[in-house]
Structure 1
């Protein structure tokens, strides 16, 4: 099965590896793609684990999972990546995530900030 993140790899060779072991995300973009796939799969545990400890929305986990299940995910477009390589400690990824909600197409257009925590990439939040 093709990976949800649009990488043209199989899910088992792409985001599933990161879902099973977050250290498999070698770049900020890989982590961002794995988070998109986790939204498609409504994998709340992974969404919390991949979120930086200082900004992790633990109290919102159930609502996030409920929303992720309520929409139909269409595709992910990665527009730009700044730093976020194997040797960096921070980076940004700008993306568009398309989905159907209540009969119409909507899009999340975000520039996300990623930082390493315990030597693993994590999502910090929106980049300023």
Structure 2
């Protein structure tokens, strides 16, 4: 099964910086291995999940627990998830000159009629000047309060953050 490619890139980046997608995570999606910090890689991976760019996810990880995980494996476990909002809670190390870093984040998601929240403490390592996600300790909470459009800074008529090309009100809203 081929990976789903969005028809239209979102205007604002799904990672929540408020920057245009092409000037934020889009740069890294077009050039895997160029994220300068662990946090930049974490944000770009979140955006890749939100846009269902599973090839990017597979290219930016060296999992300690499953080194052979492919883009198809990632797709099969995530294709029904809509990622709604990302919040970076804490970053330790992971700067351009570091060899490792940790990013703690909370991501809100929707699967069918169910909503939830993923909290994770992710470990990143730099190998030959390229950052990779290697592992994470996470907790998933279901039936969490719904994230309202105003919290996402999206209007009903804005393009949906998921990259579908539809208006927010007709898609994830």
Asked if TM exceeds 0.5, the reply is yes
**Inter-partner Cα distance in structure 1 for 2:65 and 2:128:** 15
**Inter-partner Cα distance in structure 2 for 1:80 and 1:25:** 18
**Inter-partner Cα distance in structure 1 for 2:40 and 2:76:** 24
Q: 1:40 aligns with which of 47, 50, 62?
A: 50
* Aligned equivalent of 2:12: 2
Change (3 A) 1:49 1:113: same
Alignment length, in residue pairs? 127
**Inter-partner Cα distance in structure 1 for 2:90 and 2:81:** 25
Q: 1:24 aligns with which of 34, 46, 50?
A: 34
Q: Whose radius of gyration is greater, 1 or 2?
A: 2
What stretches of structure 2 of length at least 5 have no aligned partner? 1-10, 138-173
**Inter-partner Cα distance in structure 2 for 1:118 and 1:53:** 16
Q: 1:76 aligns with which of 80, 83, 86?
A: 86
Choose between structure 1 and 2: higher strand proportion: 1
Choose between structure 1 and 2: higher helix proportion: 1
Moved over 3 A (4+): 53-61
TM-score, normalising length from structure 2? 0.67
Give how far 1:83 is off: 0.3
Change (3 A) 1:70 1:15: same
C-alpha contact 2:63 2:135 (8 A) present in aligned 1:
no
Give how far 1:64 is off: 2.1
Secondary structure at 2:43 match in 1: helix
Secondary structure at 1:111 match in 2: strand
* Aligned equivalent of 1:102: 112
C-alpha contact 2:104 2:120 (8 A) present in aligned 1:
yes
Residue-by-residue CA offset, 1:45-85 (whole Å, 9 max, x unaligned): 11111002655554453242134331221111100000000
Change (3 A) 1:95 1:53: closer
